[in-house]
Chains A and B, each alone.
Chain A
Amino acid sequence: MAEPLLAVRGLRKHFGGLVATDGVDLEVAEGETLAVIGPNGAGKTTLIGQLSGDLRPDAGTIRFAGADVTALPAFARSHRGLARSFQITSIFREFSTLDNVALAVQAHAGHSFRFWRPARAEAALREPARAVLEQVGLGGRGDVAAGTLAHGEQRQLEIAMALATRPRLLLLDEPVAGMGLDESVRMVQLLRALRGGHTLVLVEHDMDVVFALADRISVMVYGRVIATGSPEAIRANPEVRRAYLGEEVSA
C-alpha cells in the first residue's frame, strides 16, 4: 500500500502540566476527508497547530508527502503543500479581499525581493487570486477591505487564502464556527465541492457538517484519539457515544 499523504506517529504536546496531545497517531490518504471531533479542550486545535507547524510538538513525528516535516516551520510546510485555515478568523484586515488572496498567490510565486513593480499590476498574481475568489463565492467582493466583510465571508476568505497556495492538504479548523444557518449551508456546499480535488483534515463541532463531509472520523478526548472509523462505525461506537456524542445529546 502506498504511503499515506499525512502520517502522524506518537505526537505529544504539553503546556505546563496540561497534556494537550497525548500520543496521537493519524493517517490521511490522498483524496480523503478526515474529520477530527471531540469535546471542548480535547486538543483538536493544538493538533492542527502542530500539523501546520505553528506549534512544535514535544515528541512524535509528522510525515507529509513522503518526508519528515516535524522540524519544519509553518512557512516551509506551506511550500510542501500544507495549508490551514484558522478557527479564529485570521486575515489581513486592512488589505482588500483580493489583495489577501493575491498575497497568498505571491507567497508561492518566487521570492518577494521585488522592489519596483506594483504588486497590484502583476496579472500573474491577480488572476489566479480572482479565480479563487470566484471559486469560494466572493467573486464580487474583491475590492472590499477584508476587515469589513461579514463574518461568514471572512471565513470564506480564509478558505480562499488557503486554496490560493495550491495545497495538497487543507487543514480546516472549525470552518463553520460562529456562522448563521445560511452561511453554514453555503460553507458546507463549498467544502463538499473541494472534497473531490483535495485532501481535507477537518476539525469541527457541528455534527451535521461532520457527517455530511467526512469519509472517516477520528474522535479525540483528553488529547488522545479514542476511535477512528467510518461515520457509521463512529455513530455506533459505544465508547464514543459515552465520551462525546452522548454529552452532546444530553447538553
Chain B
Amino acid sequence: MTSRRRALTMAVALAALAAVPLAAAALNQPFYLDLFRRIMIFAIAAVSLDIILGYGGMVSLGHAAYLGIGAYAVAIPALHGLHSAWLQWPLAMALSGLAALVIGAVSLRTSGVYFIMITLAFAQMLYYVGISIEPWGGDDGMRLPGRSRLGGPLDLGDPHVFYYVVLAILAVLLLAGERVIHARFGTVIRAVKSNEARLQAIGVASFRYKLAVFVLAGAVCGLAGALLANQTEYLTPSYMHWTRSGDIMVMVILGGMGTLAGPVLGAAAFLLLENVLSAWTVHWQAILGPLLVLVVLYARGGLWSLVPGGGARDG
C-alpha cells in the first residue's frame, strides 16, 4: 500500500482513539476511558517491541523488563517526594535504555533460540531483583504515592487529560516510527532481518545498528512503563514477569509484525478480549490461544492485514 493510504488509515485510527472519551461520556461508561488508556499504553510497548522484532528480526522475550524499569523510575522518585514527570519520564527512558544497552551488548552476540533465552533470562533476573527489594514493595508491590506531575493544566489526576497525554505520546511515536523506519537507519534495521550476512558483505557494521535500535526500543518501552505505573497507580515486579513479555509479543503477532499500526491493533484486540472473556471465565486465555493459532495460520500479516486499506508491510 502507498505511504499516503497508510498515513490516512493511521489518521483515521488516531481520530477514533481521540473520540473514545466522548463516546465513553455519551454512554456513561467511564470505564472505557480507563480501558482504552491501558490499551494505548500497551500499544506503545508493543510498537517498541515490534521495531526490534518485526522490523529487525530480533526475537526478544524480555521486553517487559523495560516496562518494569520504567514503572520503578516513577515510583522510587515519588517515594522520595519527587513527582515531576519531567524528571521521572526521562529517567524511565534513560534507565531502561541503559538496561537495554547492557542486555543488548551481551545478547546480540547470539542469535536464534539463544537470543530468546538470554533476553528472557535477563528479564527474569530483574524480576527477581524487584521481588527481593522490600523497601520498594518487594513481592507484593506498593501503591504509587501519587501520579506524575506534568505541571500547568496537565493534571494526570484528570482521567481525560491523562488519556490525551497518552494518545499524544502514541501519535508522536507512530509518526516518528514512520520516519525512522524509512530513513537510512530503519533501512539498515530492515536489512538486518532480511539478510545480515549480505549487509556485512556490502560494508555495514550491523552490530552497532542492532544495539542502537535495541536501546531505542528499550527506552520507548520504559516510557510505556512510566505511563503504566501512573495508569494502575501501583508498582509491582510482575510488570517484568516473562509472561508479560509474552503478552506484549502476542499483541505484536496478533496485530501484525513489521507494521506500526499492527501492534496498536493487537494491543486493542488482546486487552478487549481479555476484558470481555475474563468476565465469563478466568480461563480466558484458553480462548485467546486458539484464536492466536488461527491468526498465525490464516492471517500471516496479523489482524492489520485484514483491515481494508491496512495490509501490506512497510517493506
Which residue numbers of A lie inside 8 Å of B, CB to CB? Answer: 52, 54, 73-76, 78-79, 83-84, 86, 90-95, 99, 103-104, 106-108, 112-120, 122, 145, 161-162, 164-165
Q: CB-CB < 8 A to A78: which residues of B?
A: 200-203
Contact of B185 among A86, A112, A122 (CB under 8 A): A112
Chain B residues within 8 Å of A108, by CB: 203
B184 partner, pick from A74, A93, A112, A162, beta carbons under 8 A: A112
By the criterion CB–CB under 8 Å, are A120 and B195 in contact?
Answer: no
Interface centre among A115, A117, A164 (most CB of B within 10 A): A115
Q: How many angstroms between the C-alpha atoms of A86 and B206 in the bound complex?
A: 19
Partner of A95, one of B180, B191, B206, B209: B191
Contact among B182, B194, B201, B206 for A93, CB-based, below 8 A: B194
Contact A107 B204 (CB under 8 A): yes
Give the residues from 189 to 227 in chain B that come closer than 8 angstroms, CB to CB, to chain A: 190-191, 194-195, 197-206, 209, 212
Say yes or no: A119 contacts B187, CB within 8 Å: yes
- Whether, in the assembled complex, B102 has its beta carbon less than 8 Å from a beta carbon of chain A, the answer is no
The answer on a CB contact under 8 Å between B201 and A106 is: no
Residues in chain A near residue B195, CB distance under 8 A: 90-93
CA–CA, A83 to B202, complex, Å? 7
Cα of A101 to Cα of B197 in the assembled complex, Å? 15
A112 engages B188 (CB within 8 Å) = yes
Q: A113-B209, A119-B182 are in contact. List 13 more A-B contacts (CB 8 A).
A: A54-B201, A73-B200, A75-B200, A75-B205, A75-B206, A99-B187, A103-B188, A103-B202, A113-B212, A114-B185, A162-B202, A164-B202, A165-B202
Distance A116 CA – B182 CA, assembled complex (angstroms): 8
Contacts of A92 in B (CB 8 A): 191, 194-195, 198
Chain B residues with CB below 8 A from A112, complex form: 184-185, 187-188, 204, 209
If A115-B180, A120-B182 touch, whether A107 touches B203 (CB-CB below 8 Å) is yes
Q: Which A-B residue pairs are the 3 nearest by beta carbons?
A: A78-B203, A107-B203, A112-B184
User: Is B13 close to A, CB under 8 A?
Assistant: no
CA distance A161 to B195 in the complex (A): 13
17 intermolecular pairs with C-beta atoms under 8 Å apart: A54-B200, A54-B201, A73-B200, A74-B201, A75-B204, A79-B203, A92-B198, A95-B315, A103-B191, A104-B202, A107-B203, A112-B187, A112-B204, A113-B209, A117-B183, A118-B179, A118-B182
Is the CB–CB distance between A52 and B180 below 8 Å?
no
Instruction: Name the contact of B194 in the complex, choosing from A52, A75, A86, A95 (C-beta under 8 A).
Output: A95
Give B258's nearest chain A residue, CB to CB: A94
Q: Are A118 and B315 in contact (CB under 8 A)?
A: no
Q: In the docked arrangement, what's the CA distance between A107 and B203, Å?
A: 6
Residues of A with C-beta under 8 A to B187: 99, 103, 106, 112, 119
Contact of A116 among B179, B190, B198, B313 (CB under 8 A): B179
Q: Roughly how many angstroms separate A206 CA and B62 CA in the complex, as a whole number?
A: 50
Cα distance A165–B203 when bound, in Å? 8
B315 touches A75 (CB 8 A): no
Find out whether the CB atom of B203 lies under 8 angstroms from the CB atom of A115: no
Name which of B179, B186, B194 has the most chain A CB atoms within 10 A of its CB: B194
Taking residues whose C-beta sits less than 8 angstroms from the other chain, chain B's interface range is 20 to 34
Within 8 Å CB of A54, what residues of B?
197, 200-201
Q: Is the CB of A90 within 8 A of B198?
A: yes
- Chain A residues lying within 8 Å of B199, measured Cβ to Cβ, are 103, 107
CA distance A122 to B188 in the complex (A): 15
Q: Is the CB of B194 within 8 A of A84?
A: no
Q: How far is the CA of A115 from the CA of B176 in the complex (A)?
A: 9
* Closest Cβ–Cβ distance, residue B190 to chain A (whole Å): 8
A123 to B73, CA, bound (A): 44
Nearest Cβ distance between residue B148 and chain A, in whole angstroms?
Answer: 27
B-side contacts of A164, CB under 8 Å: 202
CA of A108 to CA of B256, assembled, Å: 33
Q: Closest Cβ of chain A: how far from B270's Cβ, in Å? A: 27
CB neighbours (8 Å) of A116 from chain B are 179-180, 183
Complex: A83 Cα to B197 Cα, angstroms = 13
Q: Is the CB of B184 within 8 A of A119?
A: yes
Query: A95 to chain B: which residues have CB within 8 Å?
Result: 190-191, 194, 315
Q: Which of B200, B202, B209 has the most CB of A within 10 A?
A: B202
Q: How far is the CA of A216 from the CA of B202 in the complex (A)?
A: 27
Q: How far is the CA of A110 from the CA of B188 in the complex (A)?
A: 13
Say whether, besides A90-B195, A112-B209, A161 and B200 are in contact (CB < 8 Å): no
Question: B197 touching A90 by the CB < 8 A rule?
Answer: yes
Question: For residue B204, which residue of chain A has the nearest CB?
Answer: A107
> Which residues of B are found within 8 Å of A93, using beta-carbon distances?
194-195
Q: Is the CB of A161 within 8 A of B202?
A: yes
Residues of B with C-beta under 8 A to A90: 195, 197-198, 201
Bound CA–CA A81/B206 (angstroms): 18
CB pair B205–A91 under 8 Å, yes or no, is no
- A54 CB to closest chain B CB (Å) equals 7
Distance in Å: Cβ of A72 to nearest Cβ of chain B:
11
